[in-house]
Amino acid sequence: MKELKIFGLRPVLEAIENKKSIDKVWLVKSSNSKLYSELISKLKKNNISYSLVPKQALERKFRGKNHQGVFARISPIETMPIEKMIQNTELEKTTPLYLLLDGITDPRNFGAILRSANATSVSGVIICSSSSSPINEVVVKTSSGAIFNVPISKVNNLKDAIYLLKENQIEVIGLDQTGKNSIYDTDLLNPLAILIGSEEKGISKGILKIINQKIKIPMTGNVESLNVSVAASIALFEVKRQRNS
């Protein structure tokens, strides 16, 4: 697999913190940012090659993107087999919380979901190889580097992943507005996997048939649905609230 090109101060800093293999970093000279100074210090400390380049060079390469004057080439983001993800969670001896993504193809939504997953200590995110956003520089940037801290499993069939989770006594709950029960009235304390569908189509009908239950986020006004990353964040933080109370 080719190297991954990433941009932004926080993603590059997170890549260094997580010992990712970094080929080289390109920087626009700046002295007004604390994060910039921190990045220079860590590049030197870790003997990572870097070069100072004109701002126009990055503007041409990342036109319309918030590159923050930083660009790097790193090794690809690694995914893991779902069996190993479950095994690792068992070794941690914490109550599992997985996130299943069904058809999230927008890299910005994917990145935002990963950021929330990292903030709520999700055990792992499970995606389908045939219907998911690629893991690219937009995902890394939108996640603010959180992607380096969240285990990701890429499976061929989401149904098989659900069956495996259920075999390991993990309840699979779908976030769907046709659900009868509110997320706030649902017990989320047990080992759990939350299933999120795409904003356009929701959760696939075939998958809805095999999950344990559907729950909804109660809404008022004329809003029929939330952005998928917002909905995922609400669900994950409700799990965190219940487990920490």
- Summarize pLDDT for 81-113 with one digit per residue, the tens: 999 999 999 999 899 999 999 999 999 999 999
Residue type, 31: S
pTM of the model: 0.85
CATH number for the domain formed by residue range(s) 82-244: 3.40.1280.10
Task: Measure the CA angle with vertex 136, ends 133 and 140; round to 5°.
Answer: 105
pLDDT category of residue 75 using cuts at 50, 70 and 90: confident
CATH 3.40.1280.10 positions along the chain are 82-244
Query: What CA–CA distance (Å, rounded) separates 116 from 104?
Result: 15
Q: What is the pLDDT of residues 121-175, one digit of tens each?
A: 999 999 998 889 989 888 998 998 899 999 999 999 999 999 999 999 999 999 9
Q: What CATH number matches the domain at 4-74, 3.40.50.720, 3.30.1330.30, 3.40.50.300, 3.30.200.20?
A: 3.30.1330.30
